[in-house]
Structure 1
């Protein structure tokens, strides 16, 4: 086993498992760790994650492990794939294990609960100073990645060496293309805001508003995403790439998206709690809506779609009334 090509993936849900598949299928040693040690031991014994990706057998180079400290010590790359609300706790837990050779990447999509802070800032606050950081984001559904279907993703880091080396581990010319950039702010915001807009797209479809309304939400949602991003110093081009426009279109238009299905349930009359329960997994966009609301208010940025979704999810406004509020806004130009 080569330390320089070994990755520990923290988070054994569907997305963490799928990313572990991508790395190990490229013949790189990969550890997969999850909180439930009994479930992880069963994965290793049966060579399958029955709860999330039961149709796919683990590649030979993938090991499910219960000893996180040991796995991290044997790895160069630490890939965090947990819900964004668990990101800070995860980083705090692994910080004492991080040594000079480690490089930390995350595929969590969201902002810090309560503050709306970028996860990059959370990582910098808790990890050893100078730890190379990167964020992995883009239009990717776990089951399609696990199946080896053609996929493209964005890896963003201010550290060119990390971008190059970890990007090379993930890249597979036959099925998995990695695009690299250095705009971590734009990529992180894309992953958070698109979840909010996807709830809106599902909600509109649940109300029976049709394809015209869905397309308008996607288009104007991208405007809101970019408006917030530019205020925080992101690069304009990022918003037309995989991590922003690409992920936005995917999440708003395909029912593999939990956020879209959550919105559909709301539009069809379910309560917020019942809609979340009906999904059966974490609905990142629910928390992201609050986080984006906090950040937009801090920055003084107008985000009408996100604002109305916040009113539906957190203030009890009806989905129909929120839609009517958006339609009734003063006419403007693009």
Structure 2
């Protein structure tokens, strides 16, 4: 995704890419040096390193700098990127998030992408929108930062369930039911976490959910199908399930009791599926029987 954003922005802006070798820890250059005098810093990386990197950036950035993240997971403490940014940047440095259906390969191929640019500062979202003006990534400014964060993070939990249902040949009607039900429950959780219900229906929630749940190349969707087919061993060996933000998010929500997840039946069903994929058809049938 970082490469896709570089492709979009480098035609009109001076772009400097910072990276770190995960094996050796070697950085392309010191982060503090790379960020000095930069107007915008984009965190195109998982949520886990946000805490360290945001802490390192605070002394280096000017007050009018803008930090934005695309991370759609929780760190090992169960925090969203928005919560990490709140802790480090607060109101001293402008920050926000941008989430939506914006698959990297499609952006690099010149196809359209769409996202919500969410920030407590309306001008920050407007700045990000202006940054991508003239590119194939279209942004909408939104002020419900916490709602957008939880919508983007939690929608990935539901995607493997849709992938599993497709893998088991449950049909198009089942897919439609699961996506509609997941979106409604997502709105409940977003509101429970302090966001606005309607944010779950924006590009950050519903838009990205549909893209991930129906895309033929969706990693999250494929994991669900593989688990439902009983290929748990292959997934564990490849580490694919560990790389899934949805699987990791479900684990962090339960481990840290981020919210009372058992109150939300479909979320709990996904967790039960991830723990014991072989029982999905029975559990899903029982869930539907209770609903109707």
Matching residue of 1:105: 68
Taking a change above 3 Å as real, the CA distance of residues 274 and 281 of structure 1, as seen in their structure-2 partners, is closer
The equivalent residue for 2:36 is: 73
Cα distance change on mapping 1:276 and 1:165 into 2, 3 Å: farther
- Aligned residue-pair number: 290
Task: Please give the per-residue CA displacement for 1:33-75, whole angstroms capped at 9, x wherever unaligned.
Answer: 1113999x9xxxxxxxxxxxxxxxxxxxxxx953432221131
Which residue of 215, 226, 237 maps to 2:187? 226
2:228–2:280 contact (8 Å) kept in structure 1: no
User: Could you tell me the TM-score, scaled by structure 1's length?
Assistant: 0.78
- Render the CA deviation track for 1:116-166: whole Å, top value 9, x for unaligned: 333222222233652211011001110111122122111001101111112
Q: In structure 2, how many angstroms separate the alpha carbons of the residues matched to 1:161 and 1:276?
A: 46
**CA offset at residue 305 of structure 1?**
2.4
Give the 3 Å change call, closer, same or farther, for CA 200–302 of structure 1 in structure 2: same
Tell me what 1:30 maps to: 15
Consecutive unaligned residues of structure 1, counting only runs of 5 or more, are 1-14, 42-63
Is the 1:112–1:122 Cα contact (8 Å) retained in structure 2? no
| Residues 1:91 and 2:76 aligned together | no
Secondary structure, aligned partner of 1:113:
coil
Compared with structure 1, are the counterparts of its residues 276 and 19 closer, same or farther at alpha carbon in structure 2 (3 Å cutoff)? farther
Displacement, 1:323? 3.5
Contact 1:84–1:284, Cα closer than 8 Å, also in 2 = no
Q: Do the aligned partners of residues 37 and 110 (structure 1) sit closer, same or farther apart at CA in structure 2, a change above 3 Å counting?
A: closer
* Offset at residue 168 of structure 1 (A): 0.4
For the pair 1:213 / 2:174, whether they are aligned, the reply is yes
1:99-123 Cα deviation digits (max 9, x unpaired): 3232211110022334x33322222
1:176-215 superposed matches below 5 A: 176-215=137-176
Which residue of 18, 24, 45 maps to 2:4? Answer: 18
Q: Structure 1 residue 158 and structure 2 residue 120: aligned?
A: yes
Check 1:29–1:221 CA distance in 2 against 1; reply closer, same or farther (3 A cut): same
Describe the shift of the 1:300–1:251 C-alpha distance in structure 2 as closer, same or farther (beyond 3 A): closer
Structure 2 gaps of 5+ residues are none
Q: How does the TM-score come out when normalised to structure 2?
A: 0.88
CA RMSD of aligned residues (A): 2.8
